Structure 1
């Protein structure tokens, strides 16, 4: 996302300015009135924040505090229902994460206002222990899923409750992605055949593995954690679900951002079962398929390579 901040009015106080935010395919004009409709006291500054590919994001400084604002143009307030539910579930598990302040719709745009966590320096071992703590929070009735579905800009996933992790992951995640990839003409017949082979391998492997419904972040890449200004690890931007904890750990390996201290501390706090390294490849494949759907051919080779590895190691 590319931003251009442009002051367009000279008769406004420094607390409120008009600006244009340029996305790749749209221009959003947030004026003084838009900002005034937020449930905040005097706004001193508005700073666009980059780094994500779903929301427009801003740091808001008011006369009494600092907040983080997410905006999704042309959606109603329910767009953020899943993230709100995830943050509330994290609070129940005593996981440090932003706290929800307000959610609504202004001029046809959904917004979510949350507390702002200042960035600092921390250590990966503490982060590993925090994720282990998250995963030790289990759904007491033993079922997998979540009260809200996953809703992204490129794809949605059904999170309705089930007694089978394999059902949720394979039938509702991998198969949904496969259908979308075919719809976008991103796979040949040979690639589809290899996916079906991999799918059967995953079914066999998960049948032999006992999954427990841990509270998951659901999108645990390196951009979705931070260290606060006092060095505490925190989790942000959840796509929460109760599922097999190897899902989160597999996702952490795709783009980096987690070092050996993270994995050592995690495994010491909550040891993984035999074969976890191989099963984590299933979730790497899932995450790469998500990116293939969202961004197209640039991820085709990575998806193919991951399928090849699964077949070579387990097929």
Structure 2
């Protein structure tokens, strides 16, 4: 495969000493990926990672990912690849490209191969989330937003700057994505009404600028923006002698640090030990008792985004979250958390995300933890499903894609149930093992 002359010029490569080969997949996006291998003047070899795509959508996506990767890389250089540039291909009209460091992946659960001296993912993310956002040109203080439009999956996001986090989340995320869903799936009065109620009632109550941190507000920091388990792994960046925890396919913006945790909770795979380590370095925002509700509010955006992209059962998860938060806001019941609602079936507290809810009555030995969505089925290979759902201690049987049938497997003492009726799974565990996360 011949390397486009625009990339030869950007990287200053010798075409006669450079080759291009295919390289893996890239999650949700419609881009193609390649590995560039070149011989440098000193005789050493260097590799780059390249994405290419067609049309205006790819151009926007790559510009946003270029800015995202470098915003993260500048704060924590060992966390993600550096981007070298993006633009239009010279030899293929209508196509765009992005070129970054080549990341040699080892696999997300290859902990035995990781460097014992490197920072963990929790430590790296904590460093990222405690680095204040830069002050944009023309402003007097850091702003919420981002200097480029970014894509979460294939959804282009409006990152226009604002000084108010509550305003940014209501208008640039929730109202924006329900409009995207309307374009993709048609009008939905129920969904649109619930989003408006959430923006008007829940957001001022939970994340209002004068409410967080006892009126001190929050400082914008850069978030990855799409940090589900499929966008983190163990691998080597240039200069690393051993693999470390890394992330990729970012959709960054300057936001509340807890916004990052919404999608991490939605798809699971990070666990209580990760959050314990992380929160020892990045304390939960005050009020502490509303932490779980804030995370669910931030998870809501990703349910709505997946509904805009894929339709289907993701609407049910969004509706469940909004009904619960709106209802408890009206009853001043926010902040009650998981424990109270689990032990009191009449409480208006947390009942777990997703369209299924509780599948069985309370049992002294087995208790439903939560119901969570699986990644879109076209992203998941059947052999990879156990890894994507959770770190698995035992076998999972009966998994076939694009069809999922009920199956079960042990997960750290828990029971995993995959549902055929909707793209969700429910975790069950003895009540003594229930986690606050």
Which TM class, normalised by the smaller chain length?
A: 0.7 to 0.9
Q: 1:88 aligns with which of 48, 61, 70?
A: 70
More moved, 43-52 vs 65-74: 43-52
1:150 maps to: 150
1:166 aligns with 2:166: yes
**2:103 corresponds to which of 98, 104, 117:** 117
- Paired position in structure 2 for 1:226: 233
Q: State the TM-score, normalized to the length of structure 2.
A: 0.59
Distance 1:298 1:51 in 2: 23
Distance 1:62-1:164 versus aligned 2 partners, 3 A rule: same
Partner of 1:70: 51
Q: Is the 8 A contact 1:98 1:117 kept in 2?
A: yes
Aligned residues of 1:79 and 1:110 also touching (Cα < 8 A): no
Does the Cα contact within 8 Å between 1:144 and 1:164 map onto a contact in 2? yes
Runs of 4 or more above 4 Å deviation: 34-37, 76-79, 151-154
Alpha-carbon contact 1:186-1:297 (below 8 Å) kept: no
* Residue 212 of structure 1, CA deviation: 2.0
SS of aligned partner of 1:49:
coil
CA distance in structure 1 between the aligned counterparts of 2:59 and 2:188, rounded to whole angstroms: 39
CA contact (8 A) 2:152 2:226 kept: no
CA distances 1:3-22 after superposition (whole Å, capped 9, x unpaired): xxxxxxxxxxxxx4xxxxxx
Q: Quote the offset at 1:298 in angstroms.
A: 3.8
Quote how far apart the aligned CAs of 1:71 are: 1.1
Q: Given that residues 81 and 100 in structure 2 are in contact (C-alpha distance below 8 angstroms), is that contact kept between their aligned partners in structure 1?
A: yes
Which residue number corresponds to residue 23 of structure 2?
Answer: 48
Per the alignment, residue 135 of structure 1 pairs with: 129
- Report whether the alignment pairs 1:291 with 2:306: yes
Change (3 A) 1:126 1:50: same
1:284 CA displacement = 0.6
Native 8 Å contact 1:214 1:242 kept in 2? yes
Where structure 2 has 5 or more consecutive residues not aligned to the other structure, the ranges are: 40-44, 135-140, 237-241, 331-437
Q: Are residues 146 and 51 of structure 1, via their aligned partners in 2, closer, same or farther at CA, if it must alter by over 3 Å? A: closer
Q: 264, 273, 276: which one pairs with 1:261?
A: 273
CA distance in structure 1 between the aligned counterparts of 2:243 and 2:277, rounded to whole angstroms: 16
Q: C-alpha separation between the residues in 2 aligned to 1:214 and 1:136?
A: 7
Instruction: Give me the whole-angstrom Cα distance separating, in 1, the residues matched to 2:153 and 2:266.
Output: 21
Say which one has the larger Rg: 2
Q: Secondary structure of the residue that 1:113 maps to in structure 2?
A: strand
Aligned to 2:315: 300
CA distance in 2, matches of 1:148, 1:190: 32
- Give 1:202's aligned residue: 203
SS at match of 1:228: strand
Higher mean Cα deviation, 160-169 or 41-50?
41-50
Higher relative contact order, structure no. (Cα contacts within 8 Å, ≥ 6 residues apart): 1
Task: Decide whether the 8 Å contact of 1:95 with 1:134 is kept in 2.
Answer: no
Q: 1:153 to 1:249 in 2, by over 3 A?
A: closer
Supply the distance in 1 between the matched residues of 2:157 and 2:5 (Cα, whole angstroms). Answer: 35
**Distance change (3 Å), C-alpha of 1:132 and 1:111:** same
**Residues 146 and 68 of structure 1: is their aligned pair in 2 closer, same or farther, counting only changes over 3 Å?**
same
Q: CA RMSD in A?
A: 2.6
Choose the corresponding residue for 2:223, options 216, 225, 230. Answer: 216
- Equivalent pair of 2:160/2:172 in contact (CA under 8 Å): no
Task: Tell me if structure 1 keeps the 8 A contact 2:55–2:96.
Answer: yes
CA drift of 1:153 comes to: 7.3
* Secondary structure of 2:67's aligned partner: helix
Gaps of 5+ in 1: 1-15, 17-31
Distance 1:213 1:150 in 2: 17
Contact 2:264 2:270 in 1 (8 A): yes
The answer to whether the 8 A contact 2:205-2:329 is kept is no
Maintained 8 Å contact 2:223/2:254: yes
Count of aligned positions: 284
Q: Structure 2 vs 1, CA of residues 138 and 189 (structure 1 numbering), >3 Å: closer, same or farther?
A: same
Q: Offset of 1:125 from its aligned partner?
A: 8.2
Query: Higher mean Cα deviation, 95-104 or 120-129?
Result: 120-129
Task: List aligned pairs for 1:232-243, cutoff 5 A.
Answer: 232-243=244-255
